[in-house]
Amino acid sequence: MAAKAGDNPDSLMALSTAFCLRNLRRTMCYMGDGNKLCLRSDVFLPSEICDKLVNTYMELVHSDSNFEPQDGFFQLFSDPRSTRLTRVQLREDLVRDRDLEAIGKQDLIELHLTYCNSLSARSLKTLASFRQTLVSLSLFGCSHIFYRKGGAPLACNEDDEEEEEQRPASRHALETDFSFQGFNRLRLLNLGGLPEEVDPEALLKPLPALTSLDLSGVQLPRAAFLAQWKERLASLVLYNVDLSEELVNTVVELGHLSKHHSLHLDISRERTSKFKMTRKILTAIVQGLVNLVSLDISGHIMLDNCTVPHLEEAMGRPSIEPCKSSIYPFQELKRPLQFLGLYNTTLCNVTHIPAYKVTGSKNEDQVLNAIEAYTEFRPELAHRAINQLFDIARIQHCSQLLRALQLVIAALKCHKYEKSVQVTGSAALFYLTNTEYRSDQSMRLRRQVIQVVLNGMEQYQEVTVQRNCCLTLCNFSIPEELEFQYGRVNLLLLKILEPARQDESIQRIAVHLCNALVCQVDNHHKEAVGKMGFVKTMLNLIQKKLQDRMCDQVMEFSWSALWNITDETPDNCQMFLNCRGMSLFLDCLKEFPDKQELHRNMLGLLGNVAEVRALRPQLLTPQFISVFSDLLDSKADGIEVSYNACGVLSHIVFDGPEAWGMEEPLRDTVMDKMMAAIQSWDVTSRRNINYRSFEPILRLLPQSIAPVSQHWATWALFNLVSVYPSKYCPLLVKEGGIVLLEKVLELQTSHEETKDMARYDLTY
């Protein structure tokens, strides 16, 4: 049998790394003086393991809400004699100056810092300690690293240091002393988002050996300085850089002189520009950069006609041969490009494009290429491309399901705090996980989807994200597929339902999910969810609907959820009574006398309460007993309301005449009415009910104190095992029902009709 999409298991290395990080004190560490995390003295870790530990730690912090960041984690790697770090990737505000300082003695080869906005100029001093070994450095989006903390004193002790960490970097305190002098091994540098106040020319002058440079979004007042890398540069990224004729000429000159390197050039943009891309300029780039293998011109408006008229295009299937190119300037290429970025241009729609991988919006392949290419550093473009994937999955058919899911999951994990990505990504996931695609997905992949959906729900209390996430969860088998995150998903749903006024559609979906999650799960799950405030939340929703005099799906689902969560769970039954549940039950009966589904759900719940002996005295009031007696005559939902009302009374009268303690209504009168109701039911009725256990029914069998309770219990068993024999006969045998039914036959107090049904039960 073929493996499903994404079914490859995690490697032993990945599993071991995650286990160690979740259990640091039990594996590698101990708590030292001042409750400080320390590496055990007998631990010596090579760079392969240390790199994996740090990079996985960052991933867990950003993608797993159950994973707690460890104060002092980076300090574990402060001594190169016991730990070796070489390649480190750190993201976002979690990373502090002191974290970099902690690893300052390591011989780092690669250091990638992305959106680390908590870093200040203190970290520039730490960077200098890596200058002898660093080959690759990214400071992408680290907008504060070139500024000192505002008014910060020199740190004297840990408390002062902590105080300084909390201060924002001041835009007025530009660090002017830092230089890349001495970074002689540095070859790859990403300065995307460098502040305007920093002079890139002065900063980069000491780095003659660079082969890859990313200056995304950087202002370049003088382009000529790029010529210092004319013999070496293999990759130049100028995304969202204001182009000029001088800059383009300088770039073309680089290509003329750089004869021995494959060249990647990115001059794409997302925002509007005065610079217009003409056929002449594009031709000059292609002719001048003789070793061009990758080009990105996404977002440019083409001023004049760059494309071959449709009638003159080469015949036949789409071709990547340059000579057949539908884009005139690319006919000059000596070979097809490895990559060509045409996203948000009209050029992506032509027939013949001489490139192996193209970004654009013409088809699914181009869109997926765009998500892949732009996710990490360009969420504004990834968001648009994911939106187009959403349309493909919704209207057409996604043919590369595994790749599409993996790319959307990666984007949602990478941009947990980017609302636009969360909105479009969660919407795309809804369509990519629906029934049409389900058979192609592995359990592992579906679990990854659930994780990122819950991350989105956790991060954004925003209507669209919440709705998309809730709808996506509805595509899963509940509770089975959500059980590995059971507590977390329930907490998030209850949090959504907390506000008194919530978006109606989200409220309806969230209550439906809550109901499904507490149906058919073990009692310990129900107890745990009860402690989270589940019962009170549902009753609050019911109260609100009562005030609005509205009996809708939210009202019915809420009572159904209470029915499910109280099943064989006494603590939750007690909570229901404590939270004025009986008062709401009476109010709902009065306000909505004709709502059959509502009555069935409410009576089912009260049946659960009545099964708890210690709680039955709270149901023994003239008002409640009269209501239950009246409901015996109900024809609502077939026999269900009458059946459930009789079940409630069966447990109450089972406690005997001495427990009754009421003059009106009389116990005997109620029991006569119960018997009449049972005799009116059709024993072949198909039921709108699901029993996981017969134990509450079986306990009513061998007794003489309330023969009508015995009769109700025997009727219930007879109905279930005769109408659904394959489901309920094994349950009856498993729970010892045969012996108890035989005892019913032995009791003189048992009605003959009861004995007849017991005999039938025994024959199945």
pLDDT score of 442 = 87
pLDDT at 145 over 60: yes
pLDDT at 24 over 70: yes
What is the average pLDDT across 379-402?
94
| 618-649 pLDDT, tens digit each | 999 999 999 999 999 888 778 889 999 999 99
| 68-95 pLDDT, tens digit each | 888 899 999 999 999 999 999 999 888 9
Q: Quick check: helix, strand or coil at residue 345?
A: coil
pLDDT at 516 over 80: yes
Closest CA to 604 of 529, 687, 544, 669: 687
pLDDT score of 3 = 47
pLDDT score of 643 = 93
Phi first, then psi, for residue 113 (nearest 5°) are -110, 120
- Binning pLDDT at 50, 70 and 90, where does residue 596 land? confident
Ramachandran bin of 37, using left for φ above 0, alpha for ψ from -120 to 50, beta for the remaining angles: beta
| 122-139 pLDDT, tens digit each | 999 999 999 999 999 999
pLDDT at 258 over 70: no
CA 683 to chain centre: 47
How many C-beta atoms surround the C-beta of residue 685 within 10 A? Answer: 13
| 693-729 pLDDT, tens digit each | 899 999 999 888 999 999 999 999 999 999 999 889 8
Half-sphere exposure of 286 (CA within 13 A, CB side): 23
- Binning pLDDT at 50, 70 and 90, where does residue 159 land? low
pLDDT at 521 over 90: no
C-alpha span between 638 and 446 (Å, rounded): 39
CB 45 within 8 A of CB 82: yes
Please give the structure tokens belonging to residue 549: 């005099």
pLDDT score of 1 = 38
Please give the structure tokens belonging to residue 698: 């079986």
Looking at residue 56, its amino acid is T
Percentage of the chain beyond pLDDT 90 is 66
pLDDT score of 161 = 57
Please give the structure tokens belonging to residue 102: 């902690």
| 332-360 pLDDT, tens digit each | 999 999 999 999 999 999 999 999 999 99
pLDDT score of 369 = 98
User: What is the average pLDDT score of the chain?
Assistant: 90
| 33-63 pLDDT, tens digit each | 888 889 999 999 999 999 999 999 999 998 8
pLDDT at 513 over 70: yes
pLDDT score of 338 = 97
Residue 131: which residues within 8 A CB-CB, separation 6 or more? 180, 182, 183, 184, 186
pLDDT at 568 over 70: yes
Judged by average pLDDT, the poorest of 238-247, 404-413, 657-666 is: 657-666
CB 451 within 8 A of CB 64: yes
pLDDT score of 156 = 47
Bridge partners, residue 190, by sequence: 138, 214
Please give the structure tokens belonging to residue 272: 């509007």
pLDDT score of 154 = 47
Judged by average pLDDT, the poorest of 257-261, 523-527, 564-568, 716-720 is: 257-261
pLDDT at 409 over 80: yes
| Highest mean pLDDT out of 203-217, 296-310, 651-665, 742-756 | 203-217
Please give the structure tokens belonging to residue 356: 């192996």
Which position has the token pair 């009769």?
711
Buried/exposed 154-180: b ≥16 CB within 10 Å, e otherwise: ebeeeeebeebbeeebbeebebeebeb
pLDDT at 98 over 70: yes
- Binning pLDDT at 50, 70 and 90, where does residue 253 land? confident
What is the average pLDDT across 396-412?
94
C-alpha span between 608 and 573 (Å, rounded): 7
Query: 548, exposed or middle or buried, with CB in 10 Å at 0-12, 13-18, 19+?
Result: exposed
Give the relative orientation of helices 486-497 and 463-473 as an angle to the nearest 10 degrees: 140
Q: Which comes out higher in pLDDT, residue 250 or 1?
A: 250
pLDDT score of 279 = 92
pLDDT at 173 over 60: yes
pLDDT score of 164 = 60
CB 373 within 8 A of CB 341: yes
Q: What share of the chain is helix, strand, coil (3-state, %, to 5)?
A: 55, 10, 40
Closest CA to 251 of 297, 284, 211, 208: 284
